[in-house]
Chains A and B, each alone.
Chain A
Amino acid sequence: MVKMGRIVTFASALNEALYEEMERDERVILLGEDIGVFGGVYKVTKGLLEKFGPSRVIDTPISEEGIIGTAIGMAIMGLKPVAEIMYPDFLPVCMNQLVNNAVKIKYMSNGKVSSPIVVRTCIIQGRGSGATHSQVLIPIFMHIPGFQVIAPSNPYDAKGLLKSAIRSERVTLFFENVVLYQKKGEIPDGEYTIPIGSAEIKRKGKDVTITCFSSTVDIVLNAALKLEKEGIECEVIDLRTLWPLDEKTIIESVKKTGRIVTVENSWGVCGVGSEIITRVCEKAIDYLLAPPVRISPPHIPEPASPALVKKYVLSEDKVIDGIKKVIEYG
């Protein structure tokens, strides 16, 4: 068991991870829009320019292809770039560099050239900013071979996973979430990392397995607490890493509970849940007591109106309804 030490916010846990990795390894370089003087639009990179200087904290123009392409070049030369793309909504703007260069160079060069970069981005779903400032887009990067996709739900995981990502030899997409930035949690005083690709069982239960990640973890845990009072015992799995998927933890859990509900903030079609449920069907169909259920926002862009945002995003009620559906099936 790790000895815990301090209470920090999600945002400062990330800031610490960057700080420590930059101190530890001078090849670590940050680049992105408004990360230096401004300290990031949500202050995650605050103080890093002052500490490490402009050659290691590079404020860039609004050129997403440029940011990722440049990061790839740096990585090829042995540097360890951590690029920031403000919101996932702008990942499509640099999709070419990500898809055709970042995760292809090593493969095509037969392993001779590689570009391990980390791309941090912050989901701003549910804030009323409309259809182009709200998207999650995580499943796209599970679909394309080669990415390592991480979406932590708490300060402890955020710090440990970001440090692992920076040290990793793979291309990482690291999804933060604006609703988590001020969330507080305990972290150890000393150095620690968390292995990429391992889920965490947040809560043990015998009736139903529920997978979630990022901002949906707290929603699911709250729902599980309510259902406990009704005699339903939920096993809640925080996936933490979406790819590589911790299939073992999921399958073992389903073999025990016989029921699976997947919860995600990304769209459900070809989503995280689709992949998980397929694997459950492939590996544990004989254990299933009820058809699986996927819970996600509706398959539409996010509307701006706060009245509609409420209907669009996941809620505890929607999660409870979904869980009851698998329980009541029998």
Chain B
Amino acid sequence: MDIDKLLWLYKTMVRSRYMEEALLNLYRQGKVPGTLHLSIGQEATEVGVIAAMQKGDLLLATYRSHCPALAIGIHPKYIISEVLGKASGVCGGIGGSMHLSEPQLGLIFTSAIVASQIPVAAGIGYALRYLKRDNVVVVFVGDGGVNNGDFHEGLNFAAILNAPVVVVIVNNQYAISMPVHKSTKVKDLATKAIAYGIEGIIVDGMNPIEVYTKAKEAIEKVRSNKTPILIEAKTYRFLGHYAGDVDQPYRSKEEVEEWKKRDPILYLRNIIKEKGFESKILEIEAEAEKEIADAVEFALNSPYPEESKMFENLW
């Protein structure tokens, strides 16, 4: 893989990590309203897939989407502002941390009703083909979302409608406290593809290079064949389900530590370093640090929306 791509993957993961660490800090200071779901640990999956998308490709995702939002091009200052409910947020502070949307950049919306985005992706995929656009729609769902009826109906629709949909299961091993092996008897979630007569592939979700390479291949195949593909990325969330989930009685500290050894950011950092680009790494890290500090400053100093705003856009 060329160095520019590697550096982009690294930079995007680092920016996301710093942004989410800053959000966690704000949460601990009591400055974040509502709840906060962080992607820390699973950045390789989210960034790797989005890196494989082309201009005009579309994305639907979940309430755990600060990282995908940043990767698709939304500036962190607008993401942090949205989390804080500020007028400068990407959705004017109306949506909040779980409901992000920037169709201009490809992000249609993120859904906080588990799996409900999947049938919508089937419809978007159908429309893309109908409108003769050479684009695909990528949709993220968690390992827990796989067991919801909407997953089944959405995949079947995408398949029979020959809709260019790439369904990415972000298998971070848990749905809140429910380990994936207790929520299904299926060992590899990718095999669920068989039920819809489509292809299912497994990727190492901790390896950004593998995610990117395999997602790229899948996305291009879907683009030309107009048949959905199901990708299961095996990954891990390092933190609790939401920022307030500290005790995590459903998993052991050892297990978490074991997965942390596979931190995708450290992994890619070493690879780039070995290729002799350490100075680039330091540059990226320094820039990201400043960018995020400025973004937090911007968000904290932004005003809240006017009351009249909450009455807009209902129809």
29 A-B pairs whose Cβ atoms sit less than 8 Å apart in the complex: A34-B178, A37-B250, A41-B176, A62-B114, A62-B183, A63-B147, A65-B149, A127-B35, A129-B98, A129-B112, A130-B98, A130-B99, A131-B94, A132-B99, A132-B112, A133-B34, A133-B98, A305-B86, A305-B87, A305-B94, A306-B33, A306-B85, A307-B304, A307-B305, A308-B94, A308-B304, A308-B305, A308-B307, A311-B307
Chain B 231-264, CB within 8 Å of chain A: the 1/0 string? 0000000000000000001100000000000000
Besides the known contacts A59-B182, A62-B147, A89-B113, 14 further A-B residue pairs in the complex with CB atoms under 8 A apart: A36-B177, A63-B149, A65-B149, A90-B113, A129-B35, A129-B96, A130-B34, A130-B95, A301-B314, A303-B305, A305-B304, A305-B305, A306-B33, A306-B85
Interface residues of A (CB under 8 A from B): 33-34, 36-39, 41, 59, 61-66, 89-90, 93, 127-133, 298, 300-301, 303-309, 311-312
How many residue pairs link A and B with beta carbons under 8 A? The number is 135
Given contacts A133-B112, A308-B304, A309-B33, contact A303 B176 (CB under 8 A): no
Consensus secondary structure, chain A interface: loop
Q: Is B41 an interface residue (CB 8 A)?
A: no
Given contacts A38-B250, A133-B34, A305-B305, contact A59 B177 (CB under 8 A): yes
Among A59, A63, A301, A307, the residue within 8 A (CB) of B148 is A63
Given contacts A93-B113, A306-B33, contact A34 B176 (CB under 8 A): yes
Consensus secondary structure, chain B interface: loop
CB neighbours (8 Å) of B35 from chain A are: 127, 129, 133
Could you tell me if B176 and A300 are in contact, using CB atoms closer than 8 angstroms?
Answer: no
In the bound complex, how far is the Cα of B183 from the Cα of A303, in angstroms? 33
Chain B 101-118, CB within 8 Å of chain A: the 1/0 string? 000000000011111100
Kindly provide the distance from the CB of A126 to the nearest chain B CB, expressed in whole angstroms. Answer: 10
CB neighbours (8 Å) of B98 from chain A are: 129-130, 132-133
Could you tell me if B311 and A33 are in contact, using CB atoms closer than 8 angstroms?
Answer: no
Among A34, A37, A133, A307, the residue within 8 A (CB) of B85 is A307
Chain B 53-87, CB within 8 Å of chain A: the 1/0 string? 00000000000000000000000000000100111
Kindly provide the distance from the CB of B77 to the nearest chain A CB, expressed in whole angstroms. Answer: 16
Kindly provide the distance from the CB of B216 to the nearest chain A CB, expressed in whole angstroms. Answer: 30
Q: Chain B: which residue is nearest A94 at the CB level?
A: B149
Could you tell me if B147 and A61 are in contact, using CB atoms closer than 8 angstroms?
Answer: yes
In the bound complex, how far is the Cα of B113 from the Cα of A138, in angstroms? 19
CB neighbours (8 Å) of A300 from chain B are: 310-311, 314
CB neighbours (8 Å) of B266 from chain A are: none
Give B211-230 interface residues, CB cut-off 8 Å to A. Answer: none
Interface residues of B (CB under 8 A from A): 33-35, 82, 85-87, 89, 93-99, 111-116, 144-145, 147-149, 175-178, 182-184, 249-250, 304-305, 307, 309-311, 314
Given contacts A59-B177, A303-B93, A305-B305, contact A128 B85 (CB under 8 A): yes
CB neighbours (8 Å) of A61 from chain B are: 144, 147-148, 175, 178, 183-184
The 9 A-B pairs of least Cβ separation, nearest first, read A304-B96, A128-B33, A305-B85, A307-B304, A61-B147, A38-B177, A129-B34, A128-B34, A130-B96
